[in-house]
Amino acid sequence: MDELPRLLARLGANRDACRAAVATVVAIWTIAVGALRYQAWAARDVPVETSRGTLVVLSANPRATAYREALAWLEREAPPDATLLAIPRGTSLEFLSGHGNRLYETSLVAVIPDAAAERAYVQALERDPPSVIVTSEERQSEYGRGRWGIADGVEIARWVRSRYVPAAQVGPPRIRLAIWRLPPARPAAQ
């Protein structure tokens, strides 16, 4: 914060006045950003409640319905010791449901940059498969990726579809989440 006043002082400006001006600009900027952030949070009006906590979202956000329905399904259907993987993203589902994040990743967007990384991810799933997987085929254009399982993460999606059975679909069509569970164990042959 002293660099600009120092530079202006070399040009003949009063150093203390410059320091006060910079501090004023920083304070105004901080207050403005804080007010905007508060308005964004204050507009959130739909609680998504679970036994672990509450996520409050904007009612205009179509994900609110999908997340509320997914969390309700997990609370109703998943055993307490079930492990969960939400892909390609969805850490709040793992946290709010209280089910462990199986591979400790917050998003496949960052950890699956190429085919080799995707194969390694499938191998990790094969070694220690989660009880429940929640997937989304929503476009990920903000990350420069297509729809998961269709244009991105195809090998992981193939692995999920070959080893899990569909349990439910929740949310509106554009934001639909698919919930997958391991098939029931077959009785041992005698």
Look at the pTM and tell me if it is higher than 0.85: no
Looking at residue 142, what DSSP letter applies?
G
Higher pLDDT, 108 or 153: 153
Q: How confident is the model at residue 181 (pLDDT cuts 50, 70, 90)?
A: very high
Q: How far is CA 43 from CA 15, 50, 58, 59, in A?
A: 42, 21, 6, 9
Element (H, E) at 10: helix 3-10
Give buried/exposed letters for 72-91 (b at 16+ CB in 10 A, else e).
bbbbeebeeebbbbbbbbbe
Tally the C-alpha atoms within 13 A of residue 184's C-alpha that lie toward its C-beta.
2
Q: Is residue 113 part of a domain?
A: yes
Tokens at 166, concatenated: 């569909």
Question: Which residue range forms the structural domain that includes residue 35?
Answer: 3-42
Q: What is the DSSP letter of 107?
A: B
Q: What is the pLDDT of residue 190?
A: 61
For residue 163, being part of any structural domain is answered with yes
Decide if 188 is inside a domain.
Answer: no
* Residue 23 belongs to a domain: yes
Q: Please indicate, yes or no, whether residues 24 and 96 belong to a single structural domain of this protein.
A: no
> Tokens 């209280």 label which residue?
98
Q: Could you tell me if 63 and 134 lie in one domain?
A: yes
Judge if 158 and 86 occupy the same domain.
Answer: yes
Tokens matching residue 107 = 């998003």
Q: Per-residue pLDDT tens for 77-119? A: 999 889 888 887 777 788 788 887 766 565 555 556 677 888 8
Residue 189 in any domain: the answer is no
Same domain, 21 and 102: no
| Averaged pLDDT for residues 124-129 | 88
Shared domain for 122 and 103, answered yes or no, is yes
Total domains in the fold of the chain: 2
Summarize pLDDT for 9-58 with one digit per residue, the tens.
777 777 777 778 878 888 888 888 877 776 666 677 777 777 777 877 77
Q: Which amino acid, residue 33?
A: V
